[in-house]
Chain A
Amino acid sequence: MMINFDNAATTFPKPPEVRFAVEKALIRYGNAGRGSHLLAERGSELVYSTREIIAEFFHAQPENVVFTANCTHALNYAIQGELLQGGHVIISHLEHNSVARPVYALAKSGKIRYSIADISDSETEILENFAKLIRPDTKAIISTIASNVTGQILPFRKIGQLCREKNICFIADGAQACGILPIDLEKDCINILCTAGHKSLYGITGTGVLISDGKFSIPPLMQGGSGSLSALPEMPDFLPDALEAGTLNLIGIASLNAGIKFIQKTGMENIFRSETALCQQFCENLKLIPEVIIYRNAKAEYVPIVSFNLKGKTADETAGILAKKGFCLRSGLHCAPLAHYALQTVETYQGTVRFAPSVFSSKENTQRLTETISAIR
């Protein structure tokens, strides 16, 4: 028996449509944008149609959709590009290392300064915490839309509005939100959205996307072939070519194309509802076990992620016991140490255990999991 509840790391299994698209890609596509023969042409058509699907999904323009290797890759482009000339930046204490580390590296090299906004369960307080850190030299707010540790949804639309009012760039990490929550670059005032393709967008690993609203230019950080203006010594200065040096991951792009179509067919609201119902069932069952600590607050809103611990056991010990029983749950710091320090889970538990269902998770398996946790005591 193997039951996966580690879908916040990568969704597993993938929809049948995605597996089919990957198989088809292996026998159908050549290198996109590198020729006018049939294989290259098919590849180019796939790439463009996927840009269109993504642009429509997030309300952007197709040429502002950049394919990357993962969300970290996209965030590095956005962060290092926007802060190339230095300045000050604000992040939240819920950030993943994909945000925290590039920011820290820039600060360590003396190029930028940064501040960390505290996140509470109050939207008003969160906004105030961001607003009071804005300085005359603040270039950007970089914030996750939803925490990969607790699942807490930040008031990202209001943070975006704040950035628009102050004319600073809002870079949003949508890794745990895209495909679960409706996100609209224009309405939500997001300047650059970075996300993974292999989580709730149901593509395969090795896929990520950077989507820009075109208002802030992002200089290329990597140079190489782009299939355009190739006689020039410099990278093209227009998107997406500026940020897509080298051959694109066509198999991954085919999977992302099929993954987003799967979400559209299933309905994002239905996905959110079904996964949230499993989280509620899980929390209600866990509340009956006195040794369990759940890291949720009634006032906050969450994507379908629940972090918990068992008193007397480290997170790794709990997840290790569950793994032996066939359950896949991620334990530890989840590459988000700032969040764990804020939750005070580091010393006692060395992190948390994370329950993250997908659209393919079932009530029966959630029930089995809680029964197994209950029997650990």
Chain B
Amino acid sequence: MSTAIFPSETLARRAQKFLAMNGYTCALVRLTTPKEGCRYGLNISEHAKEVETLLQNRFHVEWKRDSA
């Protein structure tokens, strides 16, 4: 699973809607890190490659990828 990370909840929700319009569902989660505090992630478990390409082309997004 990979997580697309956004600094703003508004942008994360916009990206989530954009993916839904393109037929991909993903869960929005709140992520807290000691360094930065609250950020927002979209957990992507299916069609990861297509989703990444879609998001990369439209949003400034940071990725966290689970190696498992």
Q: Which residues of chain A have a CB within 8 Å of any CB of chain B?
A: 33, 35-36, 44, 48, 51-52, 61-63, 227-232, 236, 238, 240-241
Closest Cβ of chain B to A214, distance in Å, is 13
Question: Given contacts A51-B10, A236-B7, are A228 and B29 in contact (CB under 8 A)?
Answer: no
Whether the pair A241, B8 counts as a contact (CB closer than 8 A) is yes
**12 A-B pairs (CB sep. < 8 Å):** A35-B30, A61-B14, A62-B10, A62-B13, A63-B11, A227-B9, A227-B38, A228-B37, A229-B7, A229-B37, A231-B33, A232-B36
Q: Is the interface of B mostly helix, strand, loop or mixed?
A: mixed
Interface of A is mostly: loop
Instruction: Please state if B9 and A44 are interface contacts (CB–CB under 8 Å).
Output: yes
- B6 — nearest CB in chain A belongs to which residue? A228
Give A65 Cβ to nearest chain B Cβ, in Å: 9
Contact B11 A231 (CB under 8 A): no
Roughly how many angstroms separate A228 CA and B32 CA in the complex, as a whole number?
Answer: 9
- Kindly provide the distance from the CB of B61 to the nearest chain A CB, expressed in whole angstroms: 13
Which residues on B sit within 8 Å (CB–CB) of A228? 7-9, 37-40
**Choice from B17, B30, B38 contacting A229 with Cβ under 8 Å:** B38
**B13 lies within 8 A of A44 (CB):** yes
Cα–Cα, bound, A258→B36 (Å) = 35
| Most chain A beta-carbon neighbours within 10 Å: one of B10, B33, B38 | B10
CA distance A229 to B10 in the complex (A): 13
Q: Does B34 contact A (CB under 8 A)?
A: yes
Residues of chain A within 8 A (CB-CB) of B11 are: 63, 238
Q: Which A-chain residue is minimally distant from B34 (CB atoms)?
A: A231
Closest 9 CB pairs of A and B: A230-B37, A231-B37, A48-B13, A36-B30, A63-B10, A230-B38, A33-B9, A231-B36, A229-B36
B55 to chain A, nearest CB (A): 15
Given A230-B32, A230-B38, 6 more pairs with CB closer than 8 A:
A48-B10, A228-B37, A228-B38, A229-B39, A230-B37, A236-B8
Give complex CA distance A229, B14 in Å: 18
Residue of B nearest to A244 (CB): B10
